Amino acid sequence: MSAARPVPVRRIAGGLPLRFRAVAVGAGCLLLALVFGVLAVGGGDYPMSPSDVVRTVVGGGSPAEDFIVHELRLPRVVTALLVGAALALAGAVFQSLVRNPLGSPDLLGFTQGSAAGALLVVVTGGGSAALAGGAVLGGVVTGAVIYALAWRGGLHGHRLVLVGIGATAILTGVNGYLLTRGRLMEAARAMLWLTGSLDGRGWEDVLPLLVAMSMLAPVVLLGCARPLAITEMGDDLARGLGVRVQGLRLVLLTAAVLLTSLAAAAAGPVSFVALTAPHLTRRMTGAPGPNLLAATCTGAALLTGADLAAQRLFAGHQLPVGVVTGVLGGGYLVWLLAAQRKAGRI
Amino acid sequence: MTQTIEHGTSGQGNGVAGMHDDGPRLSGSALTLSYDKRVVAENLDVAIPDRSFTVIIGPNACGKSTLLRALARTLRPAAGTVLLDGRDITSLPARKVARTLGLLPQTSVAPDGITVAELVGRGRYPHQRLLRQWSADDERVVRESMEATGVADLAGRLVDELSGGQRQRVWIAMALAQETPLLLLDEPTTYLDIAHQIEVLDLCARLHEERGRTLVAVLHDLNHAARYATHLIAMRDGRVVAAGTPGEVMTADLVEEVFRLPCRVIDDPETGTPLVVPAARRRTESATR
């Protein structure tokens, strides 16, 4: 059957470990993210040209420009970059760990856990630093509980998915209850946070995520990417090849939960980036495996792009970035399903 | 309890580091194998003769795949020890074991969009390091493995597009690329038609003959087992019922004992090895049992 067809040599033989297309996609997305970032910094009540922006960022701007860029606009862009990168990396790790393209932290309960933690702080009248702390704590506690419930002599993907879906349902209920408990002002603030917004982010919001990314990203990207790709082929096979599967899962799950909750602490539970960025990356690179680095760059580009759109789409009226990612991500998912249906794959 | 103490002294107490006594490279002693609480085998002793093509046979759920997983260190025994080169396999570094002993499990998933060459290349994982990822050595071994299994022409093809027989040869090529003197295969012929089964078994026999590799395979077909194995292990209910050459093991009495299948054993007209012919269905009640 397939042997009779002409050989479709789609890729170069030789088993090169580095896919040039994957590298190109990663580099391209990073560049795109930077362009979006420069445009975002340049926009607003005091417009600046891209060259002015770059000049100011490297330290050659007037005091006014310096203030506008470094204090007002750059933190927001850096937050977008980092949140997008962190969510995409965590999403790619989750999808690979549970061997399911829908296995993103939004759907496995981790994001809802962060939200519950943050809402608890809002209802009890805490400030924004406490809110971030609540989001991290909520995410980590949820992660630990899900991990403990899913653990049975080892961690298995499908059990993690089932427990995670259960946790999502419970936590959604809890979050709804917390919202009704809050006073009107608090509830409105909570709703804005729940949508995911980058408005008015300062350096103090970025710092925890920056620290976490600079420590966790090397561990995940350099230390875990190859064994993770091997583990996708089956636990037994991976163990046979010398991968310590359970240890790897524990490290990766911890890293992904931390990244997700810190991203939520910085920008709220921005939806769909963790789900769509790894998908998009896989389609663009055409490469097997988790494609962690390229996915991370894609996520950064996605969120900076979405935030740029959120600021510019309606003149004089900013949208929360979560609305844009939700609409874009949801639309992408529907389009993907329709395309797959047309291709007869589902 | 007494078991663990026993092999604690016999397994690790003697012997110079790195050397093993005259026993086989791979063996298991007093193994208790279980999934969660369900015990599959208890107090199981097994030895894989060096340079043999050992085939494990037995009825469904007799524990043969479980034993293979324990020997390959993918299942940790509840009690007892698997010895590799005279040392407890669980005490050895994972990477070192992976360079000595390869496993081809039954359930392996080829990632979407992976090419044959890339999949085979993943067998090089235990030989690679973070800073030395792909060497000329890797390139050569991958090419040789693909040539040995006859999939070199498919190198650039997607694994998803291959036929079942081709795919199984690709998986075997991946296991070969691991370059291990011991190779464990869990039902390598399942889901293949008869021609592809023979093709895969011929390949296994050739791999066994080359380079003095030791092969261990779980097979369902008794006649294939008898024809290709140099050493047979027959299991039932988590016990080793018999072990030896096919001529010694594959008798009508043993097949009946192990599989509850009345049969005759004749000489294979092609090879002279034992050939199991199941008894025809009789009409009387007494004869069927």
pLDDT of residue B281 exceeding 70, the answer is: yes
Q: Are A245 and A239 in contact (CB under 8 A)?
A: yes
Q: What is the mean pLDDT of chain A?
A: 86
DSSP secondary structure string, B89-144?
GGGS-HHHHHTTEEEE-S---PPTT-BHHHHHHGGGGGG-BTTB---HHHHHHHHH
Substitution target from B74, B141, B168 for chain A, most A beta carbons within 10 A: B74
Instruction: Name the H helices within A58-73.
Output: 63-66
pLDDT of residue B14 exceeding 80, the answer is: no
Residue A192 φ/ψ, nearest 5 degrees: -60, -45
Give me the residues paired with residue A317 across strands: A314
| Residue B257 burial by Cβ neighbours in a 10 Å radius (0-12, 13-18, 19+) | middle
Residue B118 is nearest to which of A8, A15, A236, comparing CB atoms? Answer: A15
Interface contact A288-B114, CB threshold 8 A: yes
Which residues of chain B make contact with A237, given a CB cutoff of 8 A? Answer: 103-105, 108
DSSP secondary structure string, A88-102?
HHHHHHHHHHTT-TT
pLDDT in tens, A242-256: 999 989 999 999 999
Interface contact B74-A17, CB threshold 8 A: no
In a domain, B186, yes or no: yes
Q: Are B253 and B265 in contact (CB under 8 A)?
A: no
In a domain, B115, yes or no: no
* Segment of A96-110, A190-204, B40-54 carrying the highest mean pLDDT: B40-54
Interface contact B98-A237, CB threshold 8 A: no
In a domain, B44, yes or no: yes
How far is the C-alpha of A310 from the C-alpha of B74, rounded, in Å?
Answer: 50
Residue B109 is nearest to which of A7, A16, A234, comparing CB atoms? Answer: A234
Q: How many CA atoms lie within 13 A of A281 on its CB side?
A: 38
How far is the C-alpha of A143 from the C-alpha of A249, rounded, in Å?
Answer: 13
Reported as a pLDDT band with limits 50, 70 and 90, residue A340 is: confident
Which residues of chain B make contact with A92, given a CB cutoff of 8 A? Answer: none
Interface contact B125-A14, CB threshold 8 A: no
Residue B98 is nearest to which of A229, A240, A288, comparing CB atoms? Answer: A240
Which residues of chain A make contact with B158, given a CB cutoff of 8 A? Answer: 8, 10
Give me the residues paired with residue B234 across strands: B57, B242
Which residues of chain B make contact with A13, given a CB cutoff of 8 A? Answer: 115-117, 155-156
B37 at the A interface (CB within 8 A)? Answer: no
Closest A-chain CA to B152 = A13
The two tokens of residue B262 are: 């009345």
Residue B25 φ/ψ, nearest 5 degrees: -65, -35
Distance set, CA A228 to CA A224, A231, A245, A297 (Å): 6, 5, 9, 19
Range of the domain at B49: 2-100+180-288
SS3 letters across B28-57: EEEEEEEECCEEEEEEEEEEECCCCEEEEE
The two tokens of residue A93 are: 């790790």
How far is the C-alpha of A122 from the C-alpha of A265, rounded, in Å?
Answer: 13
Which residues of chain A make contact with B114, given a CB cutoff of 8 A? Answer: 288-289
Interface contact B117-A15, CB threshold 8 A: yes
CATH code: domain of residue B17: 3.40.50.300
The order of strands in the sheet holding B239-244 is B101-104, B182-186, B214-218, B53-57, B231-236, B239-244
Count interface pairs A-B at CB distance under 8 A: 124
The two tokens of residue B266 are: 């004749």
What's the domain count of chain B? 1
Chain A residues within 8 Å of chain B (Cβ atoms): 1-3, 7-18, 99, 152-153, 222-223, 226-227, 229-230, 232-237, 239-244, 282, 286-289
Q: What is the mean pLDDT of residues A199-215?
A: 91
All domains of chain A in start order, with CATH: 20-102+194-332 (1.10.3470.10)
Interface contact A233-B156, CB threshold 8 A: no
Give me the residues paired with residue B32 across strands: B79
Looking at residue B286, what is its pLDDT? 52
In a domain, B28, yes or no: yes
Nearest by Cα to B243 from B51, B235, B183:
B235
How far is the C-alpha of B178 from the C-alpha of A243, rounded, in Å?
Answer: 13
Q: What is the DSSP letter of B160?
A: G
Nearest by Cα to A165 from A213, A226, A100, A216:
A100
The two tokens of residue B249 are: 């093991």
How far is the C-alpha of B214 from the C-alpha of B220, rounded, in Å?
Answer: 20
How far is the C-alpha of B155 from the C-alpha of B229, rounded, in Å?
Answer: 30
Q: What is the mean pLDDT of residues B203-211?
A: 90
Q: Within 10 Å of residue A216's Cβ, how many Cβ atoms?
A: 21
How far is the C-alpha of B178 from the C-alpha of B120, rounded, in Å?
Answer: 9
pLDDT in tens, A66-77: 898 988 899 999
Q: How many CA atoms lie within 13 A of B250 on its CB side?
A: 30
B103 at the A interface (CB within 8 A)? Answer: yes
How far, rounded to the nearest angstrom, does the alpha carbon of residue A343 sit from its chain's CA centroid?
28
Closest A-chain CA to B65 = A236
- Give the ipTM of the model, two decimals please: 0.83
Q: What is the mean pLDDT of residues A167-179?
A: 92
The two tokens of residue B187 are: 């039902």
How far is the C-alpha of B96 from the C-alpha of B82, rounded, in Å?
Answer: 15
Residue B122 is nearest to which of A12, A230, A286, comparing CB atoms? Answer: A230
Which residues of chain B make contact with A288, given a CB cutoff of 8 A? Answer: 111-114, 118
Closest A-chain CA to B138 = A15
Amino acid of residue B159: V
pLDDT of residue B57 exceeding 50, the answer is: yes
In a domain, B144, yes or no: no
pLDDT of residue A288 exceeding 60, the answer is: yes
Q: How far away is chain B from the Cα of A224, in angstroms, using its nearest Cα?
A: 10
Which residues of chain B make contact with A15, given a CB cutoff of 8 A? Answer: 115, 117-118, 120-121, 134, 138-139, 142, 155
Reported as a pLDDT band with limits 50, 70 and 90, residue A240 is: very high
Q: How far away is chain B from the Cα of A178, in angstroms, using its nearest Cα?
A: 40
pLDDT of residue A156 exceeding 90, the answer is: no
Looking at residue B282, what is its pLDDT? 64
Which residues of chain A make contact with B157, given a CB cutoff of 8 A? Answer: 7-9
Q: Which residues 6+ apart lie within 8 Å of B186 measured at CB?
A: B65, B68, B69, B103, B104, B105, B106, B217, B218
Q: What is the DSSP letter of B73?
A: T
